[in-house]
Chains A and B, each alone.
Chain A
Amino acid sequence: MSRRPWRIGAARITEDEVATLVTRARDDIAGILDDVLDDEAGLAQVYAAYGRQPPLRAAAAAPAEEESQVGLVCDRIAMLETALAEAARPGGSSMRASMYLEMARGFLFELRSGLASRDLSAEDAFRLLNNVRHDLQEAGRLLRSEQRLPLPPPVLAGIGEKRELTSEMTGQLAALDEQVMRLFGRSDDPAAVPAPHR
């Protein structure tokens, strides 16, 4: 009886490697678009289609108030970073879940640093927030599937705690979204502060 030879499947990379490549491509594209798109001309085109003039960009008025709003947002981000550092500690859950939590923390740090130094565009801020959201969702998904594994009860309890924290963080991210939006002038509140310097 002849033995069936091993079938060598097509080469594959991991999901994480795909995610890294896609993130790199998305960042590249965003950078390229930053260089080539003319927002003023684009906005003027939109307003002109309705027979209107685009408004003047918000000037950097009320710097003290802006400073304090940015400080509040940075404090909130720092708090989320601390919670994520705790959740990302190895042990209990898989390395992949911890890795996503750690990556989310890194993006939050980048967001906080950029806001504090006033060199972050609105696009970059929302990109970072989206990255954090994505990583939290992925961590949550992994933790949820790990909870279904036949693991010892203390390990399952640890995973459950991490999952709960991840879910809470996702909720808090929505509030952070709103706060960052206000910093960039996108708010229903007329008292919103002007956009940070770009």
Chain B
Amino acid sequence: MLSETVANVDFVAFYDAERRSLVRFVMFLGADAGIAEDIAQTAFMRAFAAWNTSRLNRAWLRKVAQNEYFMHCRAAARETSLDADPGRADRRAGVSAAAAVEQQAVTREVLAAVITGLPPKQRQVMAWHWDGFSDGEIAAELGDSAVAVRKNRNRAMKNLRRSLAHVGKEGK
């Protein structure tokens, strides 16, 4: 019973510590705030089921969220209905977040530069990179070589240096 309590408390702390950064990670993959919130929540549900397994860590959580997001994109591409996933959780928080992001000029521009300006692979590598993962760790999680990760990171940076030039000047 004690171990179950400890595991519960651990999961709560893990949830508290990672929820915002996971939602943000999915946003940098390309999701809007509402979708990102849903996907992060789904990843935590998987994490809860897999809690107490040694493989569970920050990288595992992000990989689950990333796969979930890609599945969502594929499903969305197939759907023609505007209400593709009515069973999803309430997105009011996500909608509020999206509205708040719109108010922040620099944040809006950075997200736009990342989401619309970077090819998916570069975006994916940068989302991991900005969450503190090394090239080697990213390579292991994405099934790429560290060299390929570094190249994608360098190309992404080159693209961002150009696409954010106007923000860099105005944002100072």
Binding site for B on A (CB under 8 A): 10-15, 17-18, 21-22, 24-26, 28-30, 32-39, 42-43, 45-47, 49-50, 54-55, 57-58, 121-123, 125-127, 130-131, 133-134, 137, 181, 184-188, 190, 192, 195
Contacts and interface: CB of A to CB of B under 8 A. Distances in A.
Contact of B16 (A21, A127, A184): A184
Contacts of A39: 15-16, 19
B160 to A, nearest CB: 5
A36 B93 CA distance: 5
B37 A37 contact: yes
B24 A57 contact: no
Nearest 7 interchain pairs by C-beta? A13-B168, A186-B13, A130-B132, A25-B110, A55-B8, A122-B17, A11-B165
A57 B10 CA distance: 11
Interface in B114-164: 130-132, 134, 157, 160-162, 164
A17 B109 CA distance: 14
Given A21-B171, A37-B37, A42-B41, A123 B5 contact: no
A10 B13 CA distance: 46
B97 A13 contact: no
Interface of B: 2-3, 5-6, 8-10, 12-21, 23-24, 27, 33, 37, 41, 44-45, 48-49, 89, 93-94, 96-97, 100-101, 104, 106-107, 109-111, 130-132, 134, 157, 160-162, 164-169, 171
A46 B171 CA distance: 39
Contact of A186 (B10, B21, B45, B132): B10
B161 A12 contact: yes
Contacts of A24: 106-107, 110, 171
B21 A55 contact: no
A18 B161 CA distance: 6
Given A47-B48, A126-B17, A29 B162 contact: no
B111 A25 contact: yes
A17 B164 CA distance: 9
29 contacts: A12-B165, A13-B164, A18-B160, A25-B111, A28-B104, A28-B107, A33-B20, A33-B33, A33-B97, A34-B20, A36-B97, A42-B15, A42-B44, A43-B12, A45-B89, A49-B45, A54-B12, A122-B13, A123-B21, A125-B17, A126-B17, A130-B132, A131-B132, A137-B134, A181-B13, A185-B9, A186-B17, A188-B6, A192-B6
Nearest to A122: B17
A181 B11 CA distance: 12
Given A18-B168, A43-B12, A190-B2, A32 B21 contact: no
A195 B160 contact: no
Contacts of B24: 26, 29-30, 33
A18 B104 contact: no
Nearest to A57: B12
A50 B48 contact: yes
Contacts of A42: 15, 19, 41, 44
Given A43-B12, A133-B132, 13 more contacts: A11-B169, A13-B165, A13-B168, A14-B161, A30-B21, A33-B97, A35-B100, A36-B97, A45-B89, A46-B41, A55-B9, A181-B17, A192-B6
